[in-house]
């Protein structure tokens, strides 16, 4: 019998400057989410290090030969759940370049996918926020989707959510959900966080989940929090405020199919008109 529902958990982790502490806490929270029935467990962007260009070099690890991969692989196996391992600063073993990278594990603890943030967070809103990830990071060059017994799932990291093409391609390739480990901030969070998630979900009739670190007002970057799960109708089905928390939602494939059959965008698209303007 195919499984038609499963529980997702997004762990809004309180991240400190102590990497071992972050890893220990992430593992404990994964076990807690698994005990509560979660089969797909998501961690936040930069879950093993503070978020900031000044930290990436110091906290960077090789993938798969690093301690964060070891911890997440063990956690996935013990929890018997898929883990979307937020992101960590990654150093490529060959080129030595740095990336903001999400690693994904199956319930046997195998590393099954790796997503390097494709769109780097370079913004300048004068007097409010300036952030230049490209000062220290290189962008990834591929889109990431992986198969589970529940369906295909796509991954993006934070700023990637602003580029609708990514979620659209995932949906066209058959993904039931896009998952974004992310860390918006006190300027862009209230402006765009919820709207972007609901837009990606509604346009593509897929589930969308985001997982943020908890807010720390003593950190150099103050995360917005508000980790959220949105259904294929664009409705919020789980969310929270900015403190440490774990949110849970049921991903229901019957509901996914029902929404798509009721408003059948997939068979109504006019690809004959879209060619040549996609760029
Ligand atoms: N931190 C990010 O990558 C993106 C973000 O905060 C925003 O798009 O706003």
Q: What is the pLDDT of residues 145-179, one digit of tens each?
A: 999 999 999 999 999 999 999 999 999 999 999 99
**What's the pLDDT score for residue 279?**
60
Measured CA to CA, the distance from residue 190 to residue 21 in angstroms comes to 30
- Which residues approach ligand 1 with their CB closer than 6 A? 121, 158-159, 162, 183-185, 188
DSSP string, 27-40: HHHHHHHHHTTEEE
Nearest atom of ligand 1 to the alpha carbon of 191: 9
Closest by CA position to 231, among listed 61, 56, 5 = 5
H or E segment to which residue 72 belongs: helix 67-79
Look at the block and give the residue holding tokens 């995360």: 223
Cis, bond preceding 64 (omega within 30 deg of 0): yes
- 3-state class (DSSP) for residue 111: strand
Q: How far is the CA of 123 from the centre of ligand 1 (A)?
A: 8
Q: Is the ipTM of this complex over 0.85?
A: yes
Contact criterion met (CB below 8 Å) for 45 and 158: yes
Contact criterion met (CB below 8 Å) for 61 and 88: yes
The number of C-alpha atoms within 13 Å of 170 and in the hemisphere containing its C-beta is 33
Q: What is the pLDDT of residues 65-117, one digit of tens each?
A: 999 999 999 999 999 999 999 999 999 999 999 999 999 999 999 999 999 99
Instruction: State both tokens at 228.
Output: 């959220």
**Is residue 102 annotated as part of the catalytic site, yes or no?**
no
Nearest atom of ligand 1 to the alpha carbon of 192: 9
Q: How far is the CA of 187 from the centre of ligand 1 (A)?
A: 10
Probe residue for ligand 1, chosen from 15, 158, 215 as the CB with the greatest number of ligand atoms within 8 Å: 158
Q: Are strands 245-252 and 236-239 parallel, antiparallel or unpaired?
A: unpaired
**Is residue 97 annotated as part of the catalytic site, yes or no?**
no
**Is residue 250 annotated as part of the catalytic site, yes or no?**
no
Read off the pLDDT of each residue in 250-278 and give the average, rounded to a whole number. Answer: 92
Instruction: State both tokens at 266.
Output: 């997939």
Specify the DSSP class assigned to residue 51: S
Q: 5-274: CATH homologous superfamily?
A: Carbon-nitrogen hydrolase (3.60.110.10)
User: What are the extents of the domains in the chain?
Assistant: 5-274
**What's the pLDDT score for residue 3?**
81
Measured CA to CA, the distance from residue 16 to residue 214 in angstroms comes to 10
**What's the pLDDT score for residue 73?**
98
Nearest atom of ligand 1 to the alpha carbon of 117: 3
Contact criterion met (CB below 8 Å) for 207 and 231: yes
How many whole angstroms from its chain centre is CA 42? 7
């Amino acid at each position: 019998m195919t499984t038609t529902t499963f529980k997702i958990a997004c762990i809004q982790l309180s991240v400190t400057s102590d990497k071992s502490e972050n890893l220990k806490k992430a593992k404990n929270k994964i076990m807690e989410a698994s005990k509560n029935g979660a089969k797909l467990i998501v961690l936040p962007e930069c879950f093993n290090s503070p978020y900031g260009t000044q930290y990436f070099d110091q906290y960077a690890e090789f993938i798969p030969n690093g301690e964060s991969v070891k911890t997440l692989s063990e956690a996935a196996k013990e929890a018997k759940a898929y883990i979307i391992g937020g992101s960590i600063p990654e150093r490529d073993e060959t080129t030595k370049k740095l990336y903001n990278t999400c690693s994904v594990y199956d319930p046997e603890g195998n590393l099954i996918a790796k997503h390097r943030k494709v769109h780097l967070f370079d913004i300048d809103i004068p007097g409010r926020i300036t952030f230049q990830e490209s000062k220290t990071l290189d962008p990834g060059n591929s889109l990431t989707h992986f198969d589970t017994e529940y369906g295909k799932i796509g991954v993006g990291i934070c700023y990637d959510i602003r580029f609708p093409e990514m979620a659209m391609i995932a949906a066209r390739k058959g993904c039931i959900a896009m998952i974004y480990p992310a860390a918006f901030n006190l300027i862009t969070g209230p402006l765009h966080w919820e709207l972007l998630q609901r837009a990606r979900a509604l346009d593509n009739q897929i589930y969308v989940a985001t997982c943020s670190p908890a807010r720390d007002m003593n950190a150099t970057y103050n995360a917005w929090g508000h980790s959220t799960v949105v259904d294929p109708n664009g409705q919020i089905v789980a969310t929270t405020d900015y403190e440490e928390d774990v949110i849970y939602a049921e991903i229901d494939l019957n509901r996914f199919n029902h929404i798509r059959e009721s408003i059948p965008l997939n068979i109504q698209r006019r690809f004959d008109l879209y060619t040549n303007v996609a760029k």
